[in-house]
A and B are shown apart, each in its own frame.
Chain A
Amino acid sequence: MEIKVKCSCGEGNCAEWAIIELQGVVEAQPSFQDRLQNLEIGILCRPSTQEKYTFTVGYHELTGSKVPLKKPFLILKKVKCLDLGADQTDAPVNSSDSNVELQVVGIIRHRILFKTRPKALISINCHFLSSDFEQLYLKTVLTPAIQIRRVMANPLWRVETMMPLVVAGLFVFIVAAMGRDLSTRSPPFKFHVHCK
């Protein structure tokens, strides 16, 4: 089967998205898990003319910088076009029969990357808007010292079923990897470990 990659933006007009990347996970309090929309995550500051940034989440402050991506990312959106051809049947459309297309919706050329261990802010002079500690609904977990990359095959045809697995797996490994030697690995995935 063939999946076409379509682009309606035209060269040079591709909308530029941004990435803010943390080496860690932002965890919400359980009661807020399902209603994160519109809630503030944190404050991003650029203190000087340098491309250095701080990101304050809860009472943690992360420092990072804006870096250009070595290879840009394209953001593709999977779009199902039901083929209403001459033989219209009521049978459910098989995923290999329906016309799936990938549309380019944007491009990413830079990211703001935070990979240091967060600094705990304890002084009263912190400048974040969601002020009361008791009302904090977000906190960062301790960031692992390394980023873990995991290579998987067969991405496109089965990406929907793999998602929950990936997220669950990552959580387990972040907790397990903190401070531990990663020489024990669990099959069947291969690991590429970026050490600093």
Chain B
Amino acid sequence: MEEAEGKSSRGGAEAVLNMKPNSSMSIAYHPLFGLHDDLILLELDPSLIPDVLHQRVTLRGQPDEDAVLCTQSKTFGVKFVGTSNSVFLVPPSSSNCGYVDEFTNSAENGNKLPIASVLKVSPGTLELVEVAPRLDKLKLLLSERPYRLEDAMEVDEIDQLEEKRMGFFRWDDLVQCLQASDDELREGLQAIHAVEIDGYWRIVDEAYMGDVLNMLLHNLVLNDWSFDALVEDEVVGVLVSDGFPLVIARHCLEVYGSKVGDGVGGCMWKLDEKRVCVHFARVVLREGKKRMESFMEEWLRKVPDGMSASFETLKGEVLTERIGAEMWVHTFSVSSLPLNPADRFSVLFRKRPKWEWKDLEPYLRDLRVPGLSSEGLLLKYTRKSQPTQDAEPTFSARQ
């Protein structure tokens, strides 16, 4: 075997990776060979490499949780996979990586072959698998101190002590507490109708939001506004003059409406019929369950003129049960259920041991698990039974 070309004894990773045919080199322990616990290997899909190199990636979690890696919009579970193989890590010979091999770089070493040095034997690598963001804690955290009428009445609190702000969360606090990417966290906040007030993310008390909505609807009739073409500035102006804070007035439009475009007086909004009707159904059922007939009668009375309310729109928000000969209705909202599938199915099956698909589907609509379709979810978490050919299949818990 011929020796490698060149008289230089420089080696390093580049020499290993570019070995010429018919050449040899010596592999030795690096002068700094050791445990190097601070060096970790991370296996990455090539599509994620630009995100890492441009510093858009972080690890998030509490010390007692499994770490997750977050890009701008995705969350990945991190697992350490140990190997029984010996994985020798060879750094490049250039000095900017910090592991300069003085021994082989000097001209005086007696070897004739180039030397590549092993800095560390790696016990394993970190591997990533895409997961759904872990946002169940979010609603819990923000529900500790919901924004109420009293908060709106508080005058300037310039000299308020920091301690009083326990249970209040800024964006950065949420990032520290939760395991989700920035985009997913923002979507999560929107899904629970949180609003940023004075830099703190808050959930607004439902009854208080109801008051704002009632005022809006009252003014809608008074001023002969249309459900589909509300002018933001007009609506907000009226609500503020009725005593509601500006941010709450705007938030009311976000919660019960959707933007339809820009116009002369600012943005144009339309009220969302479903969301408004669901709100009034919840108001009627606030004290507890009701018989179907009385529920329907009260509900239809509360729903604003011009909006049509059908029981169908309440799917995923209320449940019916037969007590004796009568049908009763009570609140059971998909928004109150856990976001992770295992806990959600457990809550659903505790509520009712058997579900038909038409009743179950609205409570699964917002479940997202990367890599698992809705059929896959059902297969994993439920047991399907169909007593006869033409009977409706029912789903129950897997034991």
Complex partner residue of B29 from A3, A41, A75, A155, CB under 8 angstroms: A41
Q: Is A23 an interface residue (CB 8 A)?
A: yes
Please state if B59 and A102 are interface contacts (CB–CB under 8 Å): yes
Please state if A148 and B83 are interface contacts (CB–CB under 8 Å): yes
Whose C-beta in chain A lies nearest to the C-beta of B21? A49
Report Cα–Cα, A105/B53, bound state, in Å: 11
- 8 closest residue pairs by CB, A with B: A155-B80, A18-B13, A148-B84, A3-B59, A18-B90, A18-B16, A78-B38, A150-B82
Please state if A15 and B94 are interface contacts (CB–CB under 8 Å): yes
Please state if A1 and B26 are interface contacts (CB–CB under 8 Å): no
Please state if B79 and A17 are interface contacts (CB–CB under 8 Å): no
Number of interface residues of A (CB under 8 A): 86
| Contact mask for chain A residues 160-185; partner B; CB cutoff 8 A; 1 contact, 0 none | 10110011011001100100000000
Report Cα–Cα, A5/B55, bound state, in Å: 6
Report Cα–Cα, A19/B88, bound state, in Å: 5
Q: Is B212 an interface residue (CB 8 A)?
A: no
Number of interface residues of B (CB under 8 A): 81
List A residues 1-39 near B (Cβ within 8 Å).
1-7, 9-11, 14-26, 36-39
Q: What is A's interface to B at a CB cutoff of 8 Å?
A: 1-7, 9-11, 14-26, 36-49, 53, 55, 66, 71-79, 95-96, 102, 104-108, 110-112, 127, 129, 144, 147-157, 159-160, 162-163, 166-167, 169-170, 173-174, 177, 192
Report Cα–Cα, A58/B78, bound state, in Å: 38
Please state if B92 and A15 are interface contacts (CB–CB under 8 Å): yes
Q: Is B241 an interface residue (CB 8 A)?
A: no
Given contacts A5-B69, A102-B40, 6 further A-B pairs with CB under 8 A are A4-B58, A46-B24, A74-B49, A76-B39, A78-B39, A159-B80
Q: Is B31 an interface residue (CB 8 A)?
A: yes
List B residues 70-92 near A (Cβ within 8 Å).
78-92
Residues of A within 8 A of B57 (CB): 5
Whose C-beta in chain B lies nearest to the C-beta of A154? B66
Residues of A within 8 A of B82 (CB): 149-152, 166, 169-170
Please state if B28 and A41 are interface contacts (CB–CB under 8 Å): yes
Q: Is B247 an interface residue (CB 8 A)?
A: no
Could you write out 24 A-B pairs with CB less than 8 Å apart? A5-B55, A21-B88, A36-B33, A37-B29, A37-B30, A37-B32, A44-B26, A47-B22, A53-B19, A72-B43, A75-B39, A75-B41, A77-B39, A105-B97, A129-B111, A149-B82, A151-B81, A152-B80, A155-B78, A156-B126, A157-B63, A163-B35, A167-B123, A192-B81
Q: Interface on chain A toward B: helix, strand, loop, or mixed SS?
A: strand
Chain A: minimal CB distance from B170 (Å): 14
Please state if A149 and B43 are interface contacts (CB–CB under 8 Å): no
Chain A: minimal CB distance from B118 (Å): 7
Chain B: minimal CB distance from A105 (Å): 6
| Contact mask for chain B residues 102-140; partner A; CB cutoff 8 A; 1 contact, 0 none | 010000000101001010001111100000000000000
Please state if B124 and A20 are interface contacts (CB–CB under 8 Å): no
Whose C-beta in chain B lies nearest to the C-beta of A108? B41
Chain B: minimal CB distance from A149 (Å): 5
Please state if A104 and B16 are interface contacts (CB–CB under 8 Å): no
Please state if A159 and B55 are interface contacts (CB–CB under 8 Å): no
Please state if B59 and A2 are interface contacts (CB–CB under 8 Å): yes
| Contact mask for chain B residues 332-375; partner A; CB cutoff 8 A; 1 contact, 0 none | 00000000000000000000000000000000000000000000
Residues of B within 8 A of A96 (CB): 62-63
Report Cα–Cα, A64/B347, bound state, in Å: 54
Please state if B52 and A74 are interface contacts (CB–CB under 8 Å): yes
Please state if A39 and B38 are interface contacts (CB–CB under 8 Å): no
Q: Is B288 an interface residue (CB 8 A)?
A: no
Residues of A within 8 A of B13 (CB): 15-18
Whose C-beta in chain A lies nearest to the C-beta of B51? A5
Please state if A1 and B46 are interface contacts (CB–CB under 8 Å): no
Please state if A23 and B28 are interface contacts (CB–CB under 8 Å): no
The winner among B50, B52, B65, B122 for most chain A CB atoms within 10 A is B52
Please state if A72 and B46 are interface contacts (CB–CB under 8 Å): yes
Report Cα–Cα, A33/B65, bound state, in Å: 36
Report Cα–Cα, A72/B24, bound state, in Å: 26
Please state if A159 and B40 are interface contacts (CB–CB under 8 Å): yes
Q: Is B297 an interface residue (CB 8 A)?
A: no
Please state if A78 and B63 are interface contacts (CB–CB under 8 Å): no
Q: Is B20 an interface residue (CB 8 A)?
A: yes
